């Protein structure tokens, strides 16, 4: 199985900060990497698909990059509504797997 490792966790930041979350796969997954945001008591929401594509309706301050084994999710200027937990997921191989999550907390 492909293991997905996220860092850091948690991440403490302030409104307006540039935030970067890293996701590393245990083997190459090409560009089959997605990012989700989850707020307490809510279902996850898709942010970024296939490493760098912004899902419909997601603010442009979110961006993704990477390929192979190393990926990043960047929030260019953290907003109050962005405090949440972020998960990466690989869809390259069965079983699909998620990273452990990165909780973005208020500093």
Partner 1 sequence: EVQLVESGGALVQPGTSLRLSCAASGFTFDDYAMHWVRQVPGKGLEWVSGINWNSNSVGYGDSVKGRFTISRDNAKKSLFLQMNSLRPEDTALYYCAKGFGEAFYYYYLDVWGKGTTVTVSS
In this complex, which beta carbon is closest to partner 1, that of residue 72 or of residue 102?
Answer: 102
In this complex, which beta carbon is closest to partner 1, that of residue 32 or of residue 62?
Answer: 32
CA 11 to chain centre: 12
Strand-pair category, 70-75 with 33-38: unpaired
89 has which bridge partners?
A: 34, 98
In this complex, which beta carbon is closest to partner 1, that of residue 18 or of residue 39?
Answer: 39
Cα-based torsion angle of the residue sequence 15, 13, 74, 90 in order, rounded to the nearest 10 degrees: -130
Please state the closest distance from residue 78 (CB atom) to partner 1, in A: 22
- Give me the residues that bind partner 1 (CB under 8 A), please: 1, 32, 34, 36, 38, 43-46, 49-50, 55, 87, 89, 91-101
In this complex, which beta carbon is closest to partner 1, that of residue 72 or of residue 89?
Answer: 89
Residue with tokens 């999710």: 73
Please state the closest distance from residue 69 (CB atom) to partner 1, in A: 17
DSSP 11: E
């Amino acid at each position: 199985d492909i293991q997905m490792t996220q860092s850091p966790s948690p991440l403490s930041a302030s409104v307006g900060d540039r935030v970067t979350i890293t996701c590393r796969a245990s083997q190459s997954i090409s560009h089959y990497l997605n990012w989700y945001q989850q707020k307490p008591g809510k279902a996850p929401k898709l942010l970024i698909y296939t490493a760098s594509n912004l899902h419909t309706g997601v603010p442009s301050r979110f961006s993704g990059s990477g390929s192979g084994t190393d990926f990043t999710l960047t929030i260019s200027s953290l907003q109050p509504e962005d405090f949440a937990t972020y998960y990466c997921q690989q869809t390259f191989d069965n079983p699909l797997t998620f990273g452990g999550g990165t909780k973005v907390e208020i500093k």
